[in-house]
Structure 1
Amino acid sequence: MNTEILKSLLAFGGGLGMFIYGMQLMADGLQKSAGAKTRNLLAILTNNRIVGVLVGALITAIIQSSSATTVMVVGFVNAGLMNLSQAIGVIMGANIGTTMTGWLVSMSEWGSFFKPDFFAPLLLVAGTAIMLFSKTERTRQVSSILVGFGILFIGLNTMSGAIAPYSDEPIFYQAFTVIGSNPLFGLLVGAVVTAVIQSSSASMGILQTLAFNGVVNWGSAAFIALGQNIGTCVTALISCIGAHRNAQRAAMLHLLFNIIGSILVGTAVWIFFLINPAISHATVSGTSLALFHTGFNIATTVLLFPFANVLVKMSERLIPDHGEVEEKKYVHLDKRMLMGPSFAFDAIRQEIIHMGTLALENISFSRDVLVNPDHFAKMEENEQKIDEYQKELANYLEKFDASTLPPREQVEMQHAMLMINHIERISDYCMNIRDSAKDMLDEKMSEYTIEDINTISSQAYKTMKYALKMRESYDIDHYEKVEKHENRVDEMESRMRETYIDRLNSGKYNVREGIYFLDTIYNYERISDHASKLAEYTLQEA
């Protein structure tokens, strides 16, 4: 092989590496910067598919990868946080959002000021300076965006420079003529290249680089671009291996949507080129490719949006249930959601609330367990669920890279680890009360014991109730209520302990009942203390 050709190939490969790395660095900076703003996106994902399309486009524009968005969607569906009706809208939007990279790449054709060799060094200098002297996480995120942007364009410039000397070589003309004469071949090339590098944005960047050097015609570029949309589905299909049926259907929805869209638009383009062969042989610019890519994805969404339910039914037919009953899971977390840390953390917040709600139920059940024996079994069931929550949440949190989270969420991650332990301890104290009550089922309790236990348990319940409300809403006004009820529990426990001694001395208590009573009020006091800790952590984050 000619040395010059080898150098050009290495330069092209190095440029591609810089392009992909720069895109990832920029996306990481954007995601961290926007994490706090996008934390509630899951909450607005109703069955309104238009909202789903907008959310999907926004998320993908931020993380610069439709594959990553779709993999997260598969994770959300697998965890039960999203249904297929919601997923289809997000998937449609992801295809639109991924076209943002193409517009960034095409900027080099918009004038001298936008050429990479002019502003890429400025971005690198500015980004590096900010990185060296920044004192806040926010400014470091800005530096990542600028440096990533600069590296992306330097990589693009390197790829373009490697191809430029060979732009007049017959091999390019011959190759793209062959591709242009066979649309299926163009679709295959686009799909395979994208599947290999697992990024439609990167494969579009390569195609645009070839376009900058005038070696690509419309007849080949259009079908390669359509094929790229099919190739990008590979990542989600791989990620759904071992997932539940619905998660596999979500990945299938992505594939169906892109294949049908490529067939519809591809057929229209093929007919157009048959009528206008001159356009098919004309060279294409990077900006024209970006426009075609965006237009194609918007057109596909508009065409298939009314048939979203049909696509869902098709995915269900292709991946049937076969009468299988999937294992019931209480904890709705999935490793695929870790690709979007801010969104995964939103799921963790919800699961902590669910875990706390089970503990709150056990506080209520423990209060009247003596008069309602059915609560023994219900408390045991809740305790098992809470233990599962603690295990799953702890394992999930350990997989987080704290550096990928904004500062506020780094603190919240530390608190989450502590909170799941506090909630588990609350449930343990409830089980202590239940176990003590088992020994007293045949005993007749004094009115004093029943009244005092009802009073202190009611206050402990309210402490936990307002702590959970505060956690869910981040309304710090609830903190005063938490502290009010927690202080009452402390006062009651101390006063009831002293009163017990007096009643024991006067013969109003037997020793066995007294031991049960002291043990029970102690457990409620500890429950209230742990609930108060939950509120303290939330107050620090608010």
Structure 2
Amino acid sequence: MLNDIVTGLGGVGLFLLGMEIMTDALRQVAGRGLRQALGRLTASPLRGAAAGAVATAVIQSSTAVSLITIGAVGAGILGFGASLGVLYGANIGTTMTGWIVMVLGLKLKLGTLALPLLFLAAMLILLGRDRVARAGRGLAGFCLLFIGLDMMQAATGGLGAWLSPEVLPGDGWGGRLLLVLIGAAIVALIQSSSTALALVLVLLGAGALGFAQAAALVIGFNMGTTATGLLASLGGGRAMRMTALANLLFNIGTAAMAFPLLDLVTPLLHGAWPGGDDQTALVLFHTGFNLVGAAVFLPLTEHFAALVARLVPERPVPLAKGLDRRLLADEGAALDAAQAVADRLRHKLFAALAQALGPEGDLRALSSVTVQGREAVAALGTFLSQVRIAPDRSHEAARHAALLHQIDHFQRLLERCEQRDRLAALRQETRLAREVAAVAAALRQDRVRPRLAGLIERRSRRYRRGVLLQEHAGLVAVTEVFERTDALRWLVRVTDHAARLSQHAREGR
């Protein structure tokens, strides 16, 4: 008995490890293209659902797709309404894992073939680099899936003596509801609905579970997958929290539709496939109720989005919100979140500077954003130091470098913002009114370009020569010359840092 328990636990562990390794390798291959595709293919909820289903089938993790989607919403790449279709599709795409496990693992029994393939995968990892090593990790994860599945099947032979449908909560509605909650708790704990589904398929084949009990657990698995997204959204803005809540409500709604239909669909599922066994019927049930859920919610997406918006009220978001360590598992999502924070800080800082340079000379916003800005820049630097990018990911490396450049210019610009005497001197110099007004307008519209910085630089040289000539003629005191030229140099530097910030932000996106 103890040997069977140890073997079963080892099989579950190998399956979990295999899913993690394979998903990570596939995510690294598809990560950048996936985010770009989500941005392009979500013009309508239906197209978003198709994109979400394909993406989840490719990287074999609805949790990963949900996290990428939540991160993309927080970064402004996806709108909230567009993200809903992706979440619907992710639930459909994740059912592909059940088919892979059932057909390749339980029917064709590829566990034995996986052993020599695991040796090949190890050689690719040890001897290859970059893409070859990544392919080896993906193959290793795939092999571990089926080796773990074989171990789980071997363990169920001995476990059948004490684990049976009678041991679990009864087949009544109360028992089934309890099993739904147990299923949700299991997946929230192990963070893999695919592993939980594989174990249920094995137990179902061994007769340790009844079909209705297994189906109730699978309904709970769907709900448990939302736990990671909810946790990831806690540190984010309103759009991220809305997306995570919508994912939870969608899964609860789908479960509420599937749960009452268990007795009705059981004979239909067993008769829909030649040989109608319980395992095939369970995978059909998993795919079917997710398809029905998406079909019901798709026409109601606009109303559903409005409901979620009412449930998640707006609240002030600190500048560094969204830099969640859980996003570090996906370098693209982490860079999206970092760029979103940088954009938010740039907008606030530019607006505050525009107010200070404007006719009213209001410094209150500038004082506030200077303090918040230093905290946000420090948090941004710490977060980016933890982002790990593979050597062959040149696009992500370039984005990372652009964000580091932004941090540098933020620090320099924040130092300038503390030099209030330069601001006062600028506003008193009427001959610079046009230049000051032009910079303020560009800052207000977030359209500071290198051309404007060059124009301010050229005009500053002419102005400096004029002030020096005035000093030679005795029209201006030496101290006043320094005050004016320092103030002018301040304007040139501020314009230059602002222009470079905008340029590096475009590169970072």
TM-score, normalised relative to structure 2? 0.79
Q: 8 Å contact 2:269–2:284 — kept in the other structure?
A: no
Structure 1 residue 203: deviation in Å? 0.6
Corresponding residue number in structure 2 for 1:352: 342
CA deviations 1:130-180 (Å, max 9, x no partner) are 322334x3333222212211222221222222224666x585465589548
| Deviations 1:207-259, CA, capped at 9 Å, x for gaps | 22234556655343333322322343444556667888886665554444333
Counterparts of 1:201 and 1:418, CA distance in 2? 41
The 1:39/1:249 distance shift into structure 2, 3 A limit, reads closer
Question: Is 1:131 equivalent to 2:125 in the alignment?
Answer: yes
The CA distance in 2 between the partners of 1:535 and 1:239, in whole Å, is 28
Aligned residues of 1:69 and 1:94 also touching (Cα < 8 A): yes
Contact 1:459 1:486 survives alignment (8 Å) = no
Shift of residue 346 of structure 1? 1.7
Counterparts of 2:425 and 2:448, CA distance in 1: 32
- Note the alpha carbon deviations across 1:425-469, whole angstroms, 9 max, x for none: 23433553x52242576x6x474x657x5699699989x9466xx
1:18 Cα deviation (Å)?
Answer: 1.0
Matches within 5 A, 1:232-247: 232-236=225-229
Report if aligned partners of 1:191, 1:228 keep a CA contact under 8 Å in 2.
yes
Note closer, same or farther for the CA distance 1:147–1:504 as it changes in structure 2 (3 Å cut).
same
Q: Report how many residues are paired.
A: 505
Q: Give the equivalent residue in structure 1 for 2:259.
A: 266
- The one-letter amino acid paired with 2:424 is K
Alignment-derived partner of residue 478 in structure 1: none
Q: Does 1:342 align with 2:332?
A: yes
Does residue 294 (structure 1) correspond to residue 287 (structure 2)? The answer is yes
| 1:422 CA displacement | 0.7
- Judge which range, 252-261 or 210-219, deviates more: 210-219
By how many angstroms is 1:25 displaced? Answer: 0.9
List aligned pairs for 1:299-338, cutoff 5 A: 299-308=292-301, 326-331=315-320, 333-335=322-324, 337-338=327-328
Whole-Å separation in 2 of the counterparts to 1:332 and 1:82: 18
Residue from 23, 26, 30 that aligns with 1:27: 23
One-letter code aligned to 1:265: A
Q: Which moved more, 1:329-338 or 1:21-30?
A: 329-338
Say whether the 8 Å CA contact 2:38–2:48 is kept in structure 1: no
- Post-superposition Cα deviations, 1:274-319, rounded to whole Å, max 9, x if no partner, equal 899999xx983645433331222111211233344665676678x6
Aligned partner of 1:91 among 87, 90, 95: 87
Q: Find the aligned partners of 1:109 and 1:292 in 2 and give their Cα distance.
A: 19
Which residue of structure 2 lines up, in the alignment, with residue 416 of structure 1? 403
Distance (Å, rounded) in 1 between the aligned partners of 2:506 and 2:267: 67
- In structure 2, the CA distance between the partners of 1:100 and 1:74, relative to structure 1 (3 Å rule), is same
- The answer to whether the 8 A contact 1:109-1:287 is kept is no
Contact 2:70 2:240 in 1 (8 A): yes
TM-score by length of 1: 0.74
1:100 aligns with 2:96: yes
- The Cα shift of 1:519 comes to 0.4
Q: Give the aligned partner of residue 149 of structure 1.
A: 142
**Contact in 2 for aligned 1:223/1:266 (Cα 8 Å):** yes
| Superposed counterparts of 1:174-185, under 5 Å | 179=171, 183-184=176-177
Equivalent in the alignment of 2:49: 53
C-alpha separation between the residues in 1 aligned to 2:234 and 2:343?
30
Q: Partner residue of 1:208?
A: 201
- Shift of the 105–409 alpha-carbon distance from structure 1 to 2, 3 Å rule, reads same
2:412 to 416, 425, 440: 425
Q: Work out whether 1:115 is the aligned partner of 2:102.
A: no
CA distance in 1: counterparts of 2:35 and 2:497, whole angstroms: 27
Label 1:404 to 1:495 Cα distance change in 2 as closer, same or farther (>3 A).
same
Query: Which among 13, 18, 21 is matched to residue 14 of structure 2?
Result: 18
Contact 1:332–1:347 (CA under 8 A) maintained in structure 2? no
Aligned equivalents of 2:15, 2:124: Cα separation in 1: 21
Greater shift, 224-233 or 267-276, is seen at 267-276
Alpha-carbon separation, structure 2, partners of 1:275 and 1:440: 80
- Correspondence list, 1:393-542, <5 A: 393-402=380-389, 406-429=393-416, 432=419, 434-438=420-424, 445=429, 447=431, 465=447, 482=450, 493=460, 496-527=463-494, 530=497
Aligned residues of 1:18 and 1:152 also touching (Cα < 8 A): yes
State the distance in 2 between where 1:363 and 1:240 align.
Answer: 31
> What's 2:151 paired with?
158
C-alpha separation in 2, matches of 1:460 and 1:242:
32
* 8 A contact 1:22–1:147 mirrored in 2: yes
Distance 1:196 1:457 in 2: 54
Select between 238-247 and 124-133 the one with higher mean Cα deviation. Answer: 238-247
SS at match of 2:277: coil
Equivalent-residue separation in structure 1 for 2:281 and 2:267 (angstroms): 20
| 3-state DSSP of counterpart to 1:374 | coil
User: Structure 1 residues 232 and 362 mapped into 2: Cα distance closer, same or farther (>3 Å)?
Assistant: closer
Deviation per CA, 1:320-343, whole angstroms, max 9, x where unpaired? 86xxx7335445525254454422
Instruction: Give 1:299's aligned amino acid.
Output: V
Q: 1:459 to 1:227 in 2, by over 3 A?
A: closer
Write the letter of the residue equivalent to 2:254. G
Taking the aligned partners of 1:422 and 1:355, their CA distance within structure 2 comes to 12
Q: 1:117 to 1:288 in 2, by over 3 A?
A: farther
Q: Structure 1 pair 501/277, CA: closer, same or farther in 2 (3 Å)? A: closer
Q: Is the 8 A contact 1:102 1:204 kept in 2?
A: yes
Cα distance in 2, alignment partners of residues 172 and 98 from structure 1: 28
8 Å CA contact 1:123, 1:149 repeated in 2: no
Aligned to 1:470: none
**Displacement, 1:48?**
3.6
Query: Which sits farther off after the overlay, 98-107 or 356-365?
Result: 356-365
1:33 Cα deviation (Å)? Answer: 1.5
Query: 3-state DSSP class of the match of 2:322?
Result: coil
Q: Which amino acid aligns with 1:393?
A: L
CA distance in 1 between partners of 2:65 and 2:286 (Å): 18
